[in-house]
Structures are given as structure tokens and as C-alpha cells.
């Protein structure tokens, strides 16, 4: 059953019930949960919030709350699921029209009464911000060094890359003292034209897409966040590996950081995100310089060894996914083998040393012409079945699995055969 009218067919049905809200540990689910919480609060709907890490958690939670759960199915619904193309379509014209209408509504049009009430907080489309991670909460130098786009463009893991970075900074003509201090502490005269200065220099270094469009939110005068800032902060809180923090604690903190009443929690998440991004950048540099990425025929493969710095951080799906995407882009930029642009990457990292398990993740190729659909979920299932490998397919993202270290060899061999 697909919902065509979300208010009539979903919200009006549950609004008079007590709701069990199962939420998976990813950013989209957190945001959807926050929206539903706000609606439930307005309509005084009673609900139970249950974080579920995977399919096993979902099954357990369902059994615990089964007395209050009803499956709502239309009597005339045969449960036939339409094809993807019947429901969704990607159309460049639609995207362009959407951008135009967004700009118009944000520009000259006279705001309605509701839109005038933005004293405490306002969200708007930010016109072409810098493609530098957390740069408004970091120093410009650190942001450039730890952003995937600039790091891969300069190849900062190499000596030549470091030289290019220094040339780039010199070309901008900004004092090094200003570049290395926190963005908020930079001179206002420099910040006023900073985007234009960086874009002009970036074009000279073949970085044509240094500026992108996104959303920004203001809480008062000082607290300003981009959409990507909040994503990084929430993800860092959600997968915090510090001692004494349970997965439920992390979930609540990540959910709290989405509220404007918890700006301290959001700033804490940003600090954790900085540590994670530094760890990713260092791990990428190490993998490239030590040739840890191997070509296995139909795919690239990288295995992080136990004892690698920050390896515990990469036992988490979101952190490993971010590392995997960063590493693939960096490898494609650094290798002369053009075929690597059309190869996907499989990455493994230690999960539980005592149990002898690793977390395995697969992502599609970096090439813009490749099909971005991730086919690894089904491939992992078939490889495990054909080799009797001990795997656990518990994540909602089917391209993430747990694998016994002893079975890694035969599992990879089966994948090579399947994907060749």
C-alpha cells in the first residue's frame, strides 16, 4: 500500500491512537521523527519512541508492543507494489523549475503573515555557500584540509598536494594568521568577500564547484548553521564511541541536537564531527600511501587492520560509509588507472575482536556516468549463501553486513565470481 494523501491516509488515522514510533539510527529517520514529534505535540497524540538499530531490534520491539500495534491495510488493496519508475522519476526540468520557484519565494515576493514570524529562528536557501565542511565552526585552513572536495582536488596526502595547498593560500592573498584562526574570529573585512576570493582562486586550481547551494538556519545573531553542519553533528553524536555512552544515550543526544533549545548539544556534535573528519582524512592518507586499496577484478577492496588509529570509530555504519566515499574519490584522483573510475569499493573494518567479526560495506563507483544504485545488498546475500559464510544481515541498509573474519577469503572469492 502506497500513501497518496499523507494527511487523510496516514496522519488522520493515527492521530486518535496511541502511536509506537520505531526509529532507525540514521539522519533521515531522526529528522522524520522530529517532525512527527512536533505534530504529535501540537495535536496531543500519545506516543512511545523506540530506537531500533536493525531488523532484530525491530522484531524485538514489535513483540514488546504488539498489544497496541494494528496493521492498517485497505480492504481493497491487493498489496501490489508498483515499479520504481511508475512512482518516481528524475527530471532535470523539474529540478530547474524547483530551484527557480525556490528563489522566487525567497526573493522579491511579499512574505505572508506566517513567514514574518522568524525573529527567533529562520531557515532559508543560502545563495552559494563554500563547499568546505564545517568552515563556519572551524578555521578555514582545517576545513580545507579535511573537506573531501578540496583534499582530493589537491591530493593532500602527497608532498605535491601540500605544495599546491600553500600555492592556493598564497593566491588568495589572505594572511596565514587569519586562515588558521577560527572563522568567527576572522576580520569582518576579510569575511565580507571571502567566498568570491576563494572561488576566484579555486577556478585557477580546477575546482569549478567550490560553491554550492544549501539551506541555512539562524538562531539569533551568533548561532548560524548550514544543513550539512547539522547532519555531521547529528551523525557524530549518533555514533559516538566514547566510553560510558550507550546506543540509546547517543540516539537521544542526536535527536536533541535537532532542537533549537539544545544548541549546546549541537555544538558538542560539531566538535565530535571535527574529530571524526580529521580521523577520516588521516585514514584516507594512510590507505593511499600504504597501498591498502587492492583491485579484485570487478571491484576495489580495502581492509582496515586492527590497531589502525581510530579504527573503533569505523566500526559504525555512518562513519564507515563516509570514509568509504572519501577513500574511493581520493583513490580515483590519485591513480592513473582509468578503469578504477567505474569500479565500486568494498571496505571492511574490525567490529568485535573477541567474536572475530568485521563490518563490511559496499558503495557504487565514483564515475558520474555509472549507475549509482547500490547492488551490494543482494550480492552479499548470494555470496554468503553460496559459501555458507557466517554473516549477519541486520542493518536496514542492505549494503552493510557483519562477517566472520575466518570466512572473509571465501566470501570475497564468491563476490568476485558473482560480479565478474
Q: What angle do CA 47, 51, 53 make, to 5 degrees?
A: 155
The CA distance from 206 to 199, in Å, is 10
In a domain, 87, yes or no: no
Residues 20 and 45 reside in one and the same domain:
yes
Residues 218 and 186 reside in one and the same domain:
yes
In a domain, 130, yes or no: yes
- Where does a domain end: 250, 275, 300? 275
Residues 269 and 126 reside in one and the same domain:
yes
Q: Yes or no: say if 389 and 411 are a contact pair by the CB < 8 Å rule.
A: yes
Helix runs in 239-297, H state only: 247-256, 263-289
Q: Yes or no: say if 131 and 211 are a contact pair by the CB < 8 Å rule.
A: yes
Residues 336 and 243 reside in one and the same domain:
no
- Where does a domain end: 275, 299, 317? 275
In a domain, 231, yes or no: yes
In a domain, 174, yes or no: yes
CATH number of the CATH domain containing 406: 3.10.310
Residues 179 and 139 reside in one and the same domain:
yes
SS3 391: strand
Residues 154 and 39 reside in one and the same domain:
no
Q: Cell numbers of 108, please?
A: 522579491
What is the greatest pairwise CA distance in the chain? 70
Q: Yes or no: say if 239 and 316 are a contact pair by the CB < 8 Å rule.
A: yes
Residues 237 and 335 reside in one and the same domain:
no
- Report the number of distinct structural domains present in the chain: 3
User: Which domain range does residue 40 map to?
Assistant: 6-75
In a domain, 97, yes or no: no
Residues 126 and 270 reside in one and the same domain:
yes
Kindly provide the b/e burial profile for residues 130-147, where b requires at least 16 CB atoms within 10 angstroms of the residue's own CB.
bbbbbbbbbbbbbbbbbb
In a domain, 83, yes or no: no
Residues 126 and 249 reside in one and the same domain:
yes
Q: Yes or no: say if 184 and 191 are a contact pair by the CB < 8 Å rule.
A: no
SS3 304: coil
pLDDT tens string, the chain, 420 residues long: the values are: 577 888 888 888 888 888 889 999 999 999 999 999 999 999 999 999 999 999 999 999 999 887 777 654 444 444 555 665 665 555 444 444 444 434 443 444 444 454 444 444 555 565 678 999 999 999 999 999 999 999 999 999 999 999 999 999 999 998 999 999 999 899 998 888 899 999 999 999 999 999 888 888 888 777 889 999 999 999 999 999 988 789 999 999 999 999 988 899 999 999 999 999 999 999 999 999 999 999 999 999 999 998 888 999 999 999 999 999 999 999 999 998 888 889 999 999 999 999 999 999 999 998 765 556 788 999 999 999 999 999 999 999 999 999 999 999 999 999 999 998
Residues 388 and 297 reside in one and the same domain:
yes
Residue whose C-alpha cell reads 576563494 in the numeric block:
198
Residue whose C-alpha cell reads 581492509 in the numeric block:
303
Amino acid at each position: 500500500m502506497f500513501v497518496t494523501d499523507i494527511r487523510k491516509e496516514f496522519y488522520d488515522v493515527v492521530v486518535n491512537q496511541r502511536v509506537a514510533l520505531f526509529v532507525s539510527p540514521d539522519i533521515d529517520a531522526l529528522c522524520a521523527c522530529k517532525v512527527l514529534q512536533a505534530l504529535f505535540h501540537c495535536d496531543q497524540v500519545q506516543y512511545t519512541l523506540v530506537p531500533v538499530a536493525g531488523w532484530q531490534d525491530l522484531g524485538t520491539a514489535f513483540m514488546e508492543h504488539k498489544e497496541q500495534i494494528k496493521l492498517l491495510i485497505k480492504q481493497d488493496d491487493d498489496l501490489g507494489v508498483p515499479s520504481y519508475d511508475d512512482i518516481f522519476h528524475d527530471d532535470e526540468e523539474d529540478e530547474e523549475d524547483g530551484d527557480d520557484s525556490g528563489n522566487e519565494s525567497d526573493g522579491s515576493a511579499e512574505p505572508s503573515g506566517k513567514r514574518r514570524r522568524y525573529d527567533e529562528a529562520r531557515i532559508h536557501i543560502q545563495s552559494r555557500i563554500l563547499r568546505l565542511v564545517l568552515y563556519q565552526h572551524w578555521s578555514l585552513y582545517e576545513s580545507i584540509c579535511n573537506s573531501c572536495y578540496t583534499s582530493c582536488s589537491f591530493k593532500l596526502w602527497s608532498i605535491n598536494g601540500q605544495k599546491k595547498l600553500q600555492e592556493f593560500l598564497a593566491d588568495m592573498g589572505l594572511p596565514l594568521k587569519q586562515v588558521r584562526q577560527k572563522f568567527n574570529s576572522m576580520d569582518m573585512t576579510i569575511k565580507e568577500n571571502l567566498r568570491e576570493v576563494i572561488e576566484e582562486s579555486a577556478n585557477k586550481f580546477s575546482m569549478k564547484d567550490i560553491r554550492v547551494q544549501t539551506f541555512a538556519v539562524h538562531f539569533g545573531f551568533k548561532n548560524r548553521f548550514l544543513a550539512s553542519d547539522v547532519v555531521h553533528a547529528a551523525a557524530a553524536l549518533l555514533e559516538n564511541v566514547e566510553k560510558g555512552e550507550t546506543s540509546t544515550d547517543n540516539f537521544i543526544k542526536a535527536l536533541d541536537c535537532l532542537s533549537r533549545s539544545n544548541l549546546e548539544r549541537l555544538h558538542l556534535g560539531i566538535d565530535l564531527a571535527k574529530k571524526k573528519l580529521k580521523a577520516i582524512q588521516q585514514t584516507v592518507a594512510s590507505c593511499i600511501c600504504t597501498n591498502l586499496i587492492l583491485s579484485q577484478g570487478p571491484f576495489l577492496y580495502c581492509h582496515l587492520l586492527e590497531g589502525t588509529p581510530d579504527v573503533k570509530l569505523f566500526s559504525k555504519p555512518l562513519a564507515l560509509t563516509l570514509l568509504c566515499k572519501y577513500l574511493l574519490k581520493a583513490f580515483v584522483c590519485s591513480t592513473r588507472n582509468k578503469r578504477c573510475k567505474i569500479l565500486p569499493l568494498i571496505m571492511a573494518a574490525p567490529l568485535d575482536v573477541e567474536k572475530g567479526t568485521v563490518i563490511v560495506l559496499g558503495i557504487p563507483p565514483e564515475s558520474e556516468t555509472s549507475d549509482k544504485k547500490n547492488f551490494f545488498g543482494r550480492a552479499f546475500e548470494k555470496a554468503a549463501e553460496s559459501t555458507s559464510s557466517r554473516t549477519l544481515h541486520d542493518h536496514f541498509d542492505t549494503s552493510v553486513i557483519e562477517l566472520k573474519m575466518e570466512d572473509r577469503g571465501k566470501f570475497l572469492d564468491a563476490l568476485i565470481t558473482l560480479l565478474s
